[in-house]
Amino acid sequence: MSKLICLGIESTAHTFSIGIVTENEEILADEKSTYKPSLGKGIVPHEARDHHEKVKKKILEEALRKVNLNLENIDIISYSAGPGLPPSLLVGANFALEFANKYRKTLIPVNHPCAHIEIGKLKTNAKDPVLVYLSGGNTQIIAYAEGYYRIFGETEDMPIGNALDVAARKLGLPMPGGPEIEKLAKKGKYVELPYIVKGMDLSFSGIVTAAGEKFKRGARPEDIAYSIQETCFAMLTEVTERALAHTGKEDVLLVGGVAANKRLQEMLRTMCQERGANFFVVPQVYSGDCGSMIAWTGLLAYKHKKIPKIKDKILPKWRIDQVPWFQT
Ligand code: AMP
Ligand code: MG
């Protein structure tokens, strides 16, 4: 019997990507193009949409060429249905719908955070971990319990990736700001910033404001970069440790674009070592938004009979704890 092949489309925010995976856990293709806002700006939603519209055909052709297949040979089509920016989401959803109808393929809406988690689990040996999901648009500490990924803690305002991007812009650095802050922080010293953890939730916007004020009053950019990282990452480590204690789980898995940060990895790893827990991090090639994570998660949903039933083709505020799921 031939193995199932799934094509996945990602388009929640800045990245348009198409991945092709098999049920044998092979990632055959993962093509992407990322919209870059001009200096000093965040994502402008209609510009991101225009970018995705412009590149979608080329990305599809490149992905299919890589695997030497055409759409008829694909068994399942999945797409990122949310959460995300509506104009961006619609590009991917409509593209997926078009091909699913034309070639009569099963169409699977995928929850984007769930896909970040599943690609992390696929690429590491983490078993039933506490999930630390940190990206440009999301910040959540998650663990699986009784049929759902449950959110144990989350940001009350800005996601951490966005906080780093906004702070970077205040310092005059280009987007994406996270890697720029990481580089600059290596030369920095600590200046005081607020530390805001409320129960299991976190807040970053006050820290970014305070950092901007300190910078305006003459603090060195490298000191701001260092202090933002130390403060925000310590907050995230504190909440993750509490989630471990509360759930009794033994593994931690770090996923999402911010997972690439070495200082964050170091802080979480040290905390895990001190508690006798195991620390895992998604490989950097799969830490940012990519089509292969959507394809893999679509395939899992199909095989485990957990295809999400959704009323609209996109759900810009879709939460992972609304998706009936299973433990992989
Ligand atoms: P995502 O939304 O998952 O695609 O992740 C994008 C976010 O990850 C952006 O906010 C980036 O600034 C952030 N990011 C990427 N690399 C790093 C890094 N090395 N350190 C901190 N943040 C990062
Ligand atoms: Mg993402």
Phi, psi of 224 (to 5 degrees): -65, -45
Task: Please state, in angstroms and rounded to a whole number, the distance separating the CA atoms of residues 316 and 298.
Answer: 18
Residue 235 is assigned to a structural domain of this protein:
yes
For ligand 1, pick from 30, 138, 158, 164 the residue to mutate: most ligand atoms within 8 Å of CB: 164
Residue 25 is assigned to a structural domain of this protein:
yes
Mean pLDDT of 282-311: 97
273 and 201 co-located in one domain: yes
17 and 137 co-located in one domain: no
Residue 327 is assigned to a structural domain of this protein:
no
Task: Please state, in angstroms and rounded to a whole number, the distance separating the CA atoms of residues 43 and 112.
Answer: 18
247 and 303 co-located in one domain: no
Query: Looking at this protein, which amino acid is placed at residue 62?
Result: E
Residue 164's closest CA among 86, 256, 98, 246?
A: 256
**CB 290: neighbour CB atoms within 10 A?**
24
Could you report the per-residue pLDDT of 37-51, keeping only the tens digit for each? 887 778 899 999 999
Ligand 1, CB cutoff 6 Å, lining residues: 135-137, 161-162, 164-165, 176-179, 182, 256-258, 260-261, 288-289
234 and 135 co-located in one domain: yes
Quickly state the pLDDT bin for 1 (edges 50, 70, 90). Answer: low
* Degrees, nearest 5: CA angle 86-88-94: 90
153 and 247 co-located in one domain: yes
216 and 237 co-located in one domain: yes
15 and 48 co-located in one domain: yes
Could you report the per-residue pLDDT of 155-185, keeping only the tens digit for each? 999 999 999 999 999 999 988 899 999 999 9
Could you report the per-residue pLDDT of 211-257, keeping only the tens digit for each? 999 999 999 999 999 999 999 999 999 999 999 999 999 999 999 99
- CATH number, domain containing residue 216: 3.30.420.40
Ligand 1: which residue has its CA nearest to atom 2? 136
271 and 133 co-located in one domain: yes
- Closest atom of ligand 1 relative to the 289 alpha carbon: 4
- Check if the beta carbon of residue 314 is closer than 8 Å to that of residue 81: yes
Ligand 1: which residue has its CA nearest to atom 7? 136
How many distinct structural domains can be found in the chain? 2
47 and 194 co-located in one domain: no
275 and 312 co-located in one domain: no
Residue 179 is assigned to a structural domain of this protein:
yes
Which domain, by its residues, includes 244?
Answer: 128-283
Task: Please state, in angstroms and rounded to a whole number, the distance separating the CA atoms of residues 42 and 281.
Answer: 27
171 and 55 co-located in one domain: no
Please name which ligand lies nearest the alpha carbon of 111: 2
Angle between the N-to-C axes of helices 160-170 and 177-185, in degrees from 0 to 180, rounded to the nearest 10: 70
Task: Please state, in angstroms and rounded to a whole number, the distance separating the CA atoms of residues 47 and 204.
Answer: 26
Which DSSP string do the residues of 97-162 spell out, in sequence order? HHHHHHHT-EEEEEEHHHHHHHHHHHHS---S-EEEEE-SS-EEEEEEETTEEEEEEEBSSS-HHH
Cis amide prior to 176 (ω within 30 degrees): yes
155 and 262 co-located in one domain: yes
Would you state the structure tokens that stand for residue 311, as one six-digit string? 């009323």
Could you report the per-residue pLDDT of 89-134, keeping only the tens digit for each? 999 999 999 999 999 999 999 999 999 999 999 999 999 999 999 9
Ligand 1: which residue has its CA nearest to atom 3? 257
